[in-house]
Chains A and B, each alone.
Chain A
Amino acid sequence: MLDGVIKRQTIWHILIVLLMLLMAFGVSARVVYVHVAKGEFLRNEGERHYKRNIPQHAYRGSIVDRSGTELAISAPSVSVWADPSDLLEDLDGLMKLSRLLGDDFYTLKRKAEKLSGKNFMYIRRQVGPDIATKIKDAKFGIVSTITERKRLYPEGGVFSHIVGIADIDGNGVEGVELAFNDHLQGTDGEISVIRDRLGRSFEVIDTPKVKIDGQNVELSIDRNIQYIGYSELRDAIAHHDAVSGMLVVLDVKRGKVLAMVNYPAYNPNDRGSMVARNIRNRVVTDIFEPGSSIKPFIVAAALESASLDPHERFDVSPGYIRLADKKIKDSRNYKELDVAGVLSRSSNVGIIKIAQRIDDAILADKLRDYGLFSASGIELPGEATGLVVPQPEWGSTYKSFLSFGYGAALSALQLANSYMVLANEGIRRDVSVLNNSSPVRGERVMDAGVARKVVDMLHGVISPEGTGKAADTAAYMVAGKTGTAKKLKNGIYQDHSYVAVFTGLAPVNDPQIVVAVIVDEPRKNGFYGGQVAAPVFSRVVSRVLSYLDVMPDMEKVAAPGAGTSI
């Protein structure tokens, strides 16, 4: 009897143990199934409810001038968006919205119909604060707003060509915005957060992509000098009814650009007003025949390589010379001129005679070394290389035409850069637009004594007898050269279409700046470089050197008739 009871108990024990083992196996199998077979799916489903990836938008860096004033900055603005199907379901609301935005109702409706398969469309991006407030106040159920960053240019047209523009998505498309896009743009990031039941994130659990904000770009341009150049050029173009103009101011000691102006400019804050031909930074991208402003370099090449004596006198009568079938004239018959006189009177006959002394290959090499017709090294996009016939292909008259600035073309920046060689006593530097502390490295391309002699001669151009007397200033001794070139259109030089040029440096005794002024097609109040560009040079030099606290030259201040100082 007892044995039977024990036996039954043992069987029950075994059954219970087996049942528990079976249950344990079932649970284990389920655990394995959940973790292994369905693990990824379930994890994702779980994470979907509490985890969220949030994009981190990088800030685009600002562009600032050399004193740190913002020239381009990203500021918040509001964009309006909607679900296209919501718009199509509420046509009355769409009508009210189109009236508020000033948009055509049917255009908006067509856009919504086209995008009806999607659940997002921009109605208007980066609207002004007034419209944003109206939309928020109207409380349209069908539209929403998001905050984006809009690129703003506080200085407007004054800096438009050098700073350039970025598109609506913040990608640089012109100027410094394009050249330094990678530096300015930064990299968007992403973080993973855990959210509570109200959707508030309370813990960052991962950073799949680190956000790196864009960096600022500090230009060597000075905001005030840029404005001086801009306002003087603008006034001169209006006075002479010219088509356009360019102006460059270079810092001689550091090889930096202090101002770079194109006129007409465009307002980068108002894309609707932009005209394609005005967007180009012509100082860098466009080339022109420099006319007589090339003559100092012919003289320098002759002094260096052809044993030209600066005091030598040249017979320039009867005031003209025949080249091929063309009669090349001086403004009058000067009969006899020394080298300085050839420059100050801008004698074509004299410079042709000087150029004849120089070997063709040596002249080609020298002009290239001086920086004429070769890239300036500036960091801006689209720099034009100069245009000059390769020396082996020079015909019998090419050198003569080249000596007074025809048959070859260069940019305004290259012309200014070449004058910087004279100002730097023969040292040539690449030009930079960045305000880093290190001066641009230079190399000697002209004998220092020759450079000084040429600068002295160029000071004579400003004398009362010289062609550039209008470039003189009351307080500073300046040196420079006029240039007037007929424009070439459809292969024919035009009789009444000119480019007026003046390029020079100041003060003569210790040059601080080089200024190049180019006015395209002046149609009123004169057309010579000495009449049109030289006065602009004078006013710009006066204002810029005064602004830079450069002491006036004592010779000028003490001279009778000089104005009174403040």
Chain B
Amino acid sequence: MRAVSLVVVLIMLNTATALGVVHNQYQKRLVGIELARVMRDKDILIDKWSQLLVEYAAWSANSRIEKIAVEQLGMKYEYSNYAYLRM
């Protein structure tokens, strides 16, 4: 009788373990899908970031600033004690 009970318990444990493996595999695949999505998002964000950096660099280029300072604001370089742009 004891032996039969032991076998039943082992069968139940075996079944539970098998279900656990299946569940884990399923979870792993869900996480895999999520990871792939996040990696795609990461690439998109990197691309967007690089575009913003290019835009930032273009807006803040010295040649552009100088052009605006000289042509629109009428500033000029002063080489006295300090070199600076003055109105």
Residues of A within 8 A of B (CB): 59, 62, 69-70, 73-76, 147, 152, 154-156, 158, 193, 200-204, 223-224, 227, 231, 473-475, 538-539, 542-543, 546-547, 552, 556-557, 562-566
B82→A155 contact, CB < 8 A: no
Which single member of B36, B62, B80 contacts A158 (CB below 8 Å)? B62
B83→A154 contact, CB < 8 A: no
Complex interface residues of chain B between 9 and 36 (CB less than 8 A to chain A)? 28-30, 32-33, 35-36
A546→B83 contact, CB < 8 A: yes
| A106 CB to nearest B CB, Å | 36
B82→A70 contact, CB < 8 A: no
Which single member of B29, B30, B83 contacts A539 (CB below 8 Å)? B83
| Alpha-carbon gap, A547 to B50, bound state (A) | 28
A474→B46 contact, CB < 8 A: no
Provide the residues of chain B in CB contact with A154, threshold 8 Å.
Answer: 53-54, 57-58, 61
Given contacts A546-B84, A564-B81, contact A204 B32 (CB under 8 A): yes
Provide the residues of chain A in CB contact with B86, threshold 8 Å.
Answer: 566
Which single member of A200, A543, A547 contacts B33 (CB below 8 Å)? A200
A566→B84 contact, CB < 8 A: yes
B79→A474 contact, CB < 8 A: yes
Provide the residues of chain B in CB contact with A202, threshold 8 Å.
Answer: 29-30, 32-33, 36
Given contacts A75-B47, A76-B50, A564-B80, contact A70 B29 (CB under 8 A): no
| Alpha-carbon gap, A356 to B83, bound state (A) | 43
| Closest chain A residue to B44, Cβ basis | A76
| Alpha-carbon gap, A154 to B50, bound state (A) | 11
B80→A475 contact, CB < 8 A: yes
Given contacts A474-B80, A546-B83, contact A203 B61 (CB under 8 A): no
Other A-B contacts than A231-B62, A543-B79, A546-B83, 8 sampled, CB-CB below 8 A, are: A70-B57, A73-B53, A73-B54, A75-B53, A156-B63, A200-B36, A473-B79, A565-B82
A74→B50 contact, CB < 8 A: yes
B interface, by DSSP: helix, strand, loop or mixed?
Answer: helix
| Alpha-carbon gap, A362 to B28, bound state (A) | 76
| Closest chain A residue to B65, Cβ basis | A227
Most buried by B among A202, A543, A562: A202
Q: What are 12 A-B contacts defined by CB distance under 8 Å? A: A70-B57, A73-B57, A75-B53, A154-B54, A193-B36, A202-B29, A203-B32, A227-B62, A475-B82, A543-B83, A565-B80, A566-B86
Complex interface residues of chain B between 51 and 75 (CB less than 8 A to chain A)? 51, 53-54, 57-58, 60-63, 66
A70→B53 contact, CB < 8 A: yes
| Alpha-carbon gap, A69 to B63, bound state (A) | 15
Provide the residues of chain A in CB contact with B47, threshold 8 Å.
Answer: 75-76, 147
Interface residues on B, range: 20 to 34
3 closest pairs, A vs B, by CB?
A563-B80, A154-B57, A227-B62
| A129 CB to nearest B CB, Å | 10
A542→B83 contact, CB < 8 A: yes
| B87 CB to nearest A CB, Å | 12
A543→B57 contact, CB < 8 A: no
Given contacts A202-B36, A543-B77, contact A75 B29 (CB under 8 A): no
Provide the residues of chain B in CB contact with A231, threshold 8 Å.
Answer: 62-63, 66
Provide the residues of chain B in CB contact with A74, threshold 8 Å.
Answer: 50
| Alpha-carbon gap, A231 to B36, bound state (A) | 48
B61→A155 contact, CB < 8 A: yes
A563→B81 contact, CB < 8 A: yes
| Alpha-carbon gap, A543 to B77, bound state (A) | 9
Residues of B within 8 A of A (CB): 28-30, 32-33, 35-36, 46-47, 50-51, 53-54, 57-58, 60-63, 66, 77-84, 86
| Closest chain B residue to A152, Cβ basis | B54
Provide the residues of chain B in CB contact with A158, threshold 8 Å.
Answer: 61-63
Provide the residues of chain A in CB contact with B46, threshold 8 Å.
Answer: 59
Provide the residues of chain A in CB contact with B83, threshold 8 Å.
Answer: 539, 542-543, 546-547
| Closest chain B residue to A57, Cβ basis | B43
Given contacts A158-B62, A224-B62, A227-B63, contact A70 B54 (CB under 8 A): yes
| A231 CB to nearest B CB, Å | 7
Provide the residues of chain B in CB contact with A563, threshold 8 Å.
Answer: 78-81
B32→A539 contact, CB < 8 A: no
Which single member of A69, A147, A203, A556 contacts B28 (CB below 8 Å)? A203
| B48 CB to nearest A CB, Å | 9
| B78 CB to nearest A CB, Å | 7
Which single member of A147, A155, A475 contacts B57 (CB below 8 Å)? A155
| Alpha-carbon gap, A62 to B80, bound state (A) | 38
| Closest chain B residue to A71, Cβ basis | B57
| Closest chain B residue to A201, Cβ basis | B36
| Alpha-carbon gap, A193 to B32, bound state (A) | 10
Given contacts A475-B80, A542-B79, contact A203 B54 (CB under 8 A): no
| Alpha-carbon gap, A542 to B66, bound state (A) | 17
| Alpha-carbon gap, A58 to B9, bound state (A) | 53
A538→B79 contact, CB < 8 A: yes
| Closest chain B residue to A476, Cβ basis | B81
B79→A552 contact, CB < 8 A: no
Provide the residues of chain B in CB contact with A224, threshold 8 Å.
Answer: 62
| Alpha-carbon gap, A156 to B58, bound state (A) | 9
Provide the residues of chain A in CB contact with B58, threshold 8 Å.
Answer: 154
Which single member of A203, A223, A562 contacts B80 (CB below 8 Å)? A562
| Closest chain A residue to B32, Cβ basis | A203
| B9 CB to nearest A CB, Å | 33
| Closest chain B residue to A234, Cβ basis | B63
Provide the residues of chain B in CB contact with A474, threshold 8 Å.
Answer: 79-81
Which single member of A69, A203, A538, A556 contacts B29 (CB below 8 Å)? A203
Given contacts A75-B47, A154-B54, contact A223 B77 (CB under 8 A): no
B79→A539 contact, CB < 8 A: yes
| Alpha-carbon gap, A124 to B46, bound state (A) | 24
Which single member of A75, A204, A475, A546 contacts B51 (CB below 8 Å)? A75
Provide the residues of chain A in CB contact with B79, threshold 8 Å.
Answer: 473-474, 538-539, 542-543, 563
